[in-house]
Structure 1
Amino acid sequence: MTRRIALWDSAFARRVLPLVESAAEHTKLWWGIAVGMAAVGGYRGRKAAIAGLASMAAAELVSNAVCKPLYERRRPPQRLIPHEDVHERPDSSSFPSGHTAAAVGFTAAVAGTWPWMGALCSVPAVMVATERIHRGAHYPSDVAAGAAIGLAGACLVHHAPCLLLRRLLPG
């Protein structure tokens, strides 16, 4: 599967995926979307932006600070990636994909607050996940694990206020 995705050679892949990777680096893409939602979306936009950023932070924490140190996994071998983008891979563990965790965490939390904006955010989120495999930074299982972590982060952010209120106001 890694090789099949890496073999995808189209004008779209050559032009758009590097731009997506650059925008997603250090979560710039998601911060930019959050600022835009907060600026033009009114109360719902601000609420969605906060939920997205909180979920993204939780997903990044779990994937990068907890899972990567526990699960040392090498990046896919260069022989599986038939294009020149392989040389710029990170040195950290391949498992899980932190980019995907952040993308899915942000998108899922936004969707829980503002569904149509979550649907719009799903397009770059899928592109980020695809790009991570296409460039040889991750195996598909790394991306799937990152997506699961992102969904868990969104679920936590969605349910945390209720759980806190139950704790603070028993009975």
Structure 2
Amino acid sequence: MDHRLAGYDRAVYRSVARLSTPALDEPLRRVSDLANFSKLWFLVAGGIALFGGPRGRRAALSGLGAIGATSFVVNQPIKKLAGERRRPDRHGLGVPVQRWVRMPSSGSFPSGHSASAAAFAVAVGGLLPRLRPGLRVMASAVAFSRVYTGVHYPSDVLVGVAVGAVFGRLAARLAVRLRPPASHPRRTM
């Protein structure tokens, strides 16, 4: 990474670390932990599939498919090509200990949590537009929580969101294309 960009990344990271927002510590830690292994998105997909009828089931499957594709691409070729960027030094960069979540052992770039959140929100939101605002808020909270809890630099999150959004869009388009034609009532003579 260019030294100037790395400097901006650390400056934004430190600015988030310096936020005096103790009321957010516990909720954002919980959001970050709930997003581990996409648990949050599996729960949301289950609710959508259960209560959303056929469109809800299609959207839930599309969202989970987007997460699967995104997770594979982020955790295999991208993280390997990025050279296993080291995680931030939370202590040295001033993240309060009460915000900390378990530090992942994988490379920092890009954020898999943010990628999965964006993939799910964009895929499901593309098929169920009425859910789009709420899903975007949830995905944004997950993405922000990764910087807030100190496990990612802002650029890790931004690139993760961008990759996830692309795969979410592709999954929604594929779901629309694969949609079986609407059945027409038969005419009886």
Q: In 1, Cα distance between the equivalents of 2:41 and 2:68? A: 11
Residue number in structure 1 paired with 2:185: none
What letter corresponds to residue 58 of structure 1 in structure 2?
A: A
Structure 1 residues 14-93: aligned runs within 5 Å: 14-71=25-82, 72-78=84-90, 79-84=92-97, 85-86=99-100, 88-93=102-107
> Structure 1 or 2: larger helix share?
1
How far did 1:47 drift? 1.5
Residue number in structure 1 paired with 2:18: 7
Q: In 1, Cα distance between the equivalents of 2:52 and 2:101? A: 40
Q: In 1, Cα distance between the equivalents of 2:22 and 2:101? A: 21
Q: 2:58, 2:175 within 8 Å by CA — same for their partners in 1?
A: no
- Poorly superposed stretches of 4+, deviation over 3 Å: 159-164
Find out whether 1:105 has 2:116 as its counterpart: no
Q: In 2, Cα distance between the equivalents of 1:120 and 1:102? A: 16
Q: In 2, Cα distance between the equivalents of 1:139 and 1:162? A: 35
How far did 1:77 drift? 2.1
Choose which of 145, 151, 167 in structure 2 pairs with 1:131.
145
Task: Tell me the number of residue pairs that the alignment of Structure 1 and Structure 2 aligns.
Answer: 165
How far did 1:4 drift? 1.1
| Deviation digits for residues 74-99 of structure 1 (CA, Å, limit 9, x no counterpart) | 11223113311457311211000000
Q: Show structure 2 runs of 5+ residues with no match.
A: 1-11, 179-189
| Deviation digits for residues 10-61 of structure 1 (CA, Å, limit 9, x no counterpart) | 2431121011012111100000000000001112211110111111111111
Percent of residue pairs bearing the same amino acid type: 38
Q: In 2, Cα distance between the equivalents of 1:31 and 1:103? A: 11
Q: In 2, Cα distance between the equivalents of 1:143 and 1:102? A: 11
Q: In 1, Cα distance between the equivalents of 2:101 and 2:36? A: 17
Give me the CA root mean square deviation: 2.0
Q: In 2, Cα distance between the equivalents of 1:48 and 1:81? A: 41
How far did 1:163 drift? 7.8
How far did 1:70 drift? 1.6
SS at match of 2:151: coil
What letter corresponds to residue 16 of structure 1 in structure 2?
A: P
Q: In 2, Cα distance between the equivalents of 1:55 and 1:24? A: 15
Q: 1:96, 1:142 within 8 Å by CA — same for their partners in 2?
A: yes
